[in-house]
Amino acid sequence: MKYFIVTYGCQMNVHESEKIAGILENLGYTACDKREDADIIVFNTCAIREGAEDRVFGNVGNLKRLKKKNKNLIIAVLGCMTQKEQTAQKLMNTFPFVDIVLGTFNLSRLGFFIEAVKKGRQLEILEEGDIDEMLPYKRTSGENAWVNIMQGCNNFCTYCIVPYVKGREKSRQESNILQEIKELIAEGKYKKITLLGQNVNSYGKDLNPQVSFATLLHDICKLDGDFTLSFMTSHPKDLTDDVIDAIASEDKIEKFIHLPAQSGNNRILKLMNRKYTREKYLEIIDKIREKIPNCRITSDFIVGFPTETEEEFEDTYELVKRVRYDSIFAFMYSPREGTIASKMEGQIPEEIKHKRVNKLLALEKKLQKEDNKR
Ligand code: SAH
Ligand code: SF4
Ligand code: F3S
């Protein structure tokens, strides 16, 4: 029996798919390279922007003919998109050939649902769930091993769907993380460990006793072995000096930080609920540059947030110019149902968003060209 997994979204989802693969292999399935050969096809979806969801609808729709050819084929849709009740229902209604739709909190029961499909289509969305330490991983990222250190997000940036589909922040026990990494090092094939969380800087605040992210970093670096350590994503509001010092002082930690700014304008940052100002952000950047020379810095930006004026967009443009990132991702604001920003007045027309995103990306290209020359 063979499985094929299609993954959308962030690194955390890529890692989640390694968990899905682990569960399927435990059930006796093996991986295959083509959808046509599969007995089960799993979509691990993302809800961050409308485009991501549209692609899922398109690609699931395309499976109709496969299902016609192979009546026993099981099609499962999981992940952030299906955590939303309405979207899950829409998937079920639009595609009668989809067998299983699960939210993000019941992955550990995938095996049960595959068995249950014999009796009919399955849909389940739970409200919250704990991190399951027992689930096996089938690692697929070569020399890099992803290690989840927390799930969920408490920040509720007003544009973002993640807190709604991934629940509140929950940190893993430090001992469990250290044990996992020890085992990875012992396997001998991983040269790089990448810690994952939506906001790694707030790691451990919910543990009793609390553990700081900097402590976790130092403790991992104390482990014997030849590996480099990196992490994502850092939220500027929680990036403390002790974390910057850890990156600077620990040889094992990669000199790299992804520090999404989202906007360079204070009014927009406030509306986004990011809890820092342009000045504070630049202060952090200067501190990083001073303490960690040659540190690579990357960022994410959203253009066309509701009510963003041309001048306010220029503030973002100037920030990108000033920081000279190693690279940036620029996204057009996409209203997500249920978020605060989606209900704000002053939504920006698509063509203006297009114009702004192109302008920002052109700048990024130009700066990169100059830097490469240098
Ligand atoms: N936890 C990370 C980001 C996760 S989502 C952080 O706080 O930085 C990855 C990126 O998607 C975000 O940095 C943001 O730039 C973008 N994004 C999130 N919601 C979006 C939306 N509604 N429209 C457009 N881009 C969005
Ligand atoms: Fe979304 Fe903000 Fe949480 Fe990042 S920090 S996942 S952008 S709510
Ligand atoms: Fe990641 Fe998309 Fe979910 S960015 S957390 S897969 S909504």
Residues 59 and 168 in one domain: no
For residue 178, pLDDT over 80 is answered with yes
- Which domain CATH number covers 77? 3.40.50.2300
Structure tokens at 18: 């390694």
Question: Residue 170 sits in which domain range?
Answer: 141-254
Letter string b/e over residues 50-87, b meaning 16 or more CB atoms within 10 A of that residue's CB: eebbeebbeebeebeeebeeeeebbbbbbbbbbbbeeb
For residue 79, pLDDT over 90 is answered with yes
Residues 152 and 79 in one domain: no
Residues 170 and 199 in one domain: yes
Residue bearing tokens 């962030």 = 10
Residue 194 domain-assigned? yes
> Of 124, 152, 173, which residue is a domain's last?
124
- Which domain CATH number covers 287? 3.30.750.200
Residues 231 and 292 in one domain: no
Residue 372: predicted pLDDT: 81
Residues 273 and 203 in one domain: no
Atom number, ligand 3, closest to the C-alpha of residue 161: 7
Provide the percentage of residues in the chain whose pLDDT is more than 90. Answer: 93
> What interhelical angle do 241-249 and 213-221 show, nearest 10?
10
- Which domain CATH number covers 229? 3.30.750.210
Residue 112: predicted pLDDT: 94
Provide the percentage of residues in the chain whose pLDDT is more than 70. Answer: 100
Among candidate residues 257, 305, 303, the one with its CA nearest the CA of residue 281: 257
Residues 366 and 307 in one domain: yes
Q: Distance (Å, rounded) from C-alpha 348 to C-alpha 305?
A: 7
Q: Give 129's pLDDT tier (boundaries 50, 70, 90).
A: confident
Instruction: Report the largest interatomic distance among the alpha carbons of the chain, rounded to a whole angstrom.
Output: 64
Residue 131: predicted pLDDT: 86
* Phi, psi values for residue 262, rounded to 5°: 70, -45
* Phi, psi values for residue 182, rounded to 5°: -55, -45
Mean predicted confidence (pLDDT) in 24-36: 96
Q: Find the Cα–Cα–Cα–Cα dihedral 89, 95, 98, 104, rounded to 10°.
A: -30
Q: Where are the alpha helices (DSSP H) in the chain?
A: 11-26, 50-61, 64-69, 85-94, 110-116, 162-166, 174-187, 213-221, 241-249, 266-271, 278-291, 310-323, 350-373
For residue 267, pLDDT over 90 is answered with yes
Residue 181: predicted pLDDT: 97
For residue 130, pLDDT over 90 is answered with no
Q: Are 57 and 50 in contact (CB under 8 A)?
A: no
Letter string b/e over residues 10-30, b meaning 16 or more CB atoms within 10 A of that residue's CB: bebbbbbbbbbbebbeeeebe
Mean predicted confidence (pLDDT) in 92-118: 94
Residues 120 and 24 in one domain: yes
Residues 116 and 39 in one domain: yes
Residue 136 domain-assigned? no
Q: Give 159's pLDDT tier (boundaries 50, 70, 90).
A: very high
Kindly give the distance from the C-alpha atom of residue 162 to the centroid of ligand 3, in angstroms, as a whole number: 6
Residue 295: predicted pLDDT: 96
Q: What is the DSSP letter of 262?
A: B
Residue 134 domain-assigned? no
Residues 55 and 165 in one domain: no
For residue 374, pLDDT over 80 is answered with no
* pLDDT single digits (tens) 289-347: 999 999 999 999 999 999 999 999 999 999 999 999 999 999 999 999 999 999 999 99
Average pLDDT, the chain: 95
Residue 131 domain-assigned? no
How far does the chain reach from its first CA to its final CA, in angstroms?
53
Residue 302 domain-assigned? yes
Residue 133: predicted pLDDT: 86
Cβ count near 175 (within 10 Å): 10
CA-closest residue to ligand 1 atom 13: 300
Q: Is 79 in the pocket of ligand 1 (CB under 6 A)?
A: no
Residue 373: predicted pLDDT: 77
> Of 69, 92, 124, which residue is a domain's last?
124
Cβ count near 228 (within 10 Å): 17
Residue 98 domain-assigned? yes
Mean predicted confidence (pLDDT) in 69-98: 95
Kindly give the distance from the C-alpha atom of residue 336 to the centroid of ligand 3, in angstroms, as a whole number: 13
Residue 135 domain-assigned? no
Q: Give 132's pLDDT tier (boundaries 50, 70, 90).
A: confident
Residues 94 and 10 in one domain: yes
Residue 106 domain-assigned? yes
Q: Which ligand is nearest to the CA of 165?
A: 3
* pLDDT single digits (tens) 187-199: 999 999 999 999 9
pTM to 2 decimal places? 0.95
**Which residues line the pocket of ligand 2, CB cutoff 6 A?**
153, 155-157, 160, 162-163, 198-199, 235
Kindly give the distance from the C-alpha atom of residue 46 to the centroid of ligand 3, in angstroms, as a whole number: 5
> Of 219, 254, 289, which residue is a domain's last?
254
Residues 264 and 374 in one domain: yes
Query: In angstroms, what is the C-alpha Rg of the chain?
Result: 22
Residues 184 and 151 in one domain: yes
* pLDDT single digits (tens) 200-259: 999 999 999 999 999 999 999 999 999 999 999 999 999 999 999 999 999 999 999 999
Q: Candidates 302, 316, 337, 342: which one to mutate for ligand 1, based on the most atoms within 8 Å of Cβ?
A: 302
Number of structural domains, the chain? 3
